[in-house]
């Protein structure tokens, strides 16, 4: 059985500044493009039979630069819709809502382009992705190129945890993580590995 290879997209200006970037389509920085290119040698060794990306340009571009050609955009891999917190940093949010914590407190509604999602809704999307890719793993490794929070929630669901279990898994830009099976149980094989450590 193959493994599920997770790649978080490269750096954007908003990710560098710690801004919640859900559905806003922010491009990669030059540093983000370089880190995506740096993923290519490791990914080339993994016999990846299929790749799915978020529809966001930062994910699609990361896949292209990392050598994952022919990737299929999957709308369920969009990042968490942060609603009224889109584009804001945690510090800015806490100025008006002391002690706010995304994984516990969620988001407020935004405009028509950013209505917001509950963690349960993000978990439902992650479950749909996993239902589609699990059958493919019998043939080899499958790569998902997306965003920090959706990949963290997806990892929690792979491990049969509640979606909020994603809070336990920090995930940096331009990194690779691997989910697999050990003794018929879902496990994390590698996590948050930067290109220079691969």
Q: Which residues pair with 155 in a beta bridge?
A: none
Mean pLDDT by 10 residues, the chain (198 residues): 97 97 96 96 95 98 96 98 98 97 97 96 98 97 98 98 98 97 97 87
Q: Active-site positions?
A: 9, 79
Task: Record the tokens describing residue 193, joined without a space.
Answer: 């590995």
* DSSP H stretches of helix in 45-147: 57-65, 90-96, 102-105, 119-133
CATH assignment at residue 49: 3.40.50.1240
Can you give the residue range of the structural domain that contains 154?
4-197
Q: Which residue has the tokens 């750096």?
A: 11
Contacts 24+ apart (CB under 8 A), 74-78: 74/129, 74/132, 76/125, 76/126, 76/128, 76/129, 77/52, 77/53, 77/125, 77/129, 77/144, 77/145, 77/146, 77/147, 77/150, 78/22, 78/23, 78/54, 78/125, 78/146, 78/147, 78/150
- The pLDDT score that the predictor gives to residue 73 is 98
- The pLDDT score that the predictor gives to residue 196 is 78
What is the value of pTM for the model shown?
Answer: 0.97
- The pLDDT score that the predictor gives to residue 197 is 80
Count of domains for the chain = 1
């Amino acid at each position: 059985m193959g493994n599920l290879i997770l790649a978080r997209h490269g750096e954007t200006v908003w990710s560098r500044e710690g801004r919640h970037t859900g559905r806003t389509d922010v491009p990669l920085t030059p540093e983000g493009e370089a880190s995506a290119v740096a993923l290519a040698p490791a990914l080339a060794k993994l016999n990846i039979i299929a790749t799915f990306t978020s529809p966001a340009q930062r994910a699609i571009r990361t896949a292209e630069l990392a050598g994952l050609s022919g990737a299929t955009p999957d709308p369920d891999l969009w990042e968490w819709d942060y609603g009224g917190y889109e584009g804001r940093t945690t510090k800015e949010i806490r100025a008006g809502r002391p002690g706010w914590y995304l994984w516990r407190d969620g988001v407020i509604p935004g405009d028509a382009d950013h209505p917001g999602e509950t963690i349960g809704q993000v978990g439902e999307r992650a479950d749909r992705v996993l239902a589609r890719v699990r059958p493919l793993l019998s043939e080899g490794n499958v790569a998902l190129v997306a965003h920090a929070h959706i990949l963290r929630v997806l990892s929690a669901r792979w491990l049969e945890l509640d979606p909020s279990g994603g809070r336990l898994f920090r995930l940096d830009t331009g990194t690779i993580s691997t989910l697999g099976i050990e003794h018929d149980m879902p496990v994390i094989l590698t996590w948050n590995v930067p290109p220079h450590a691969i």
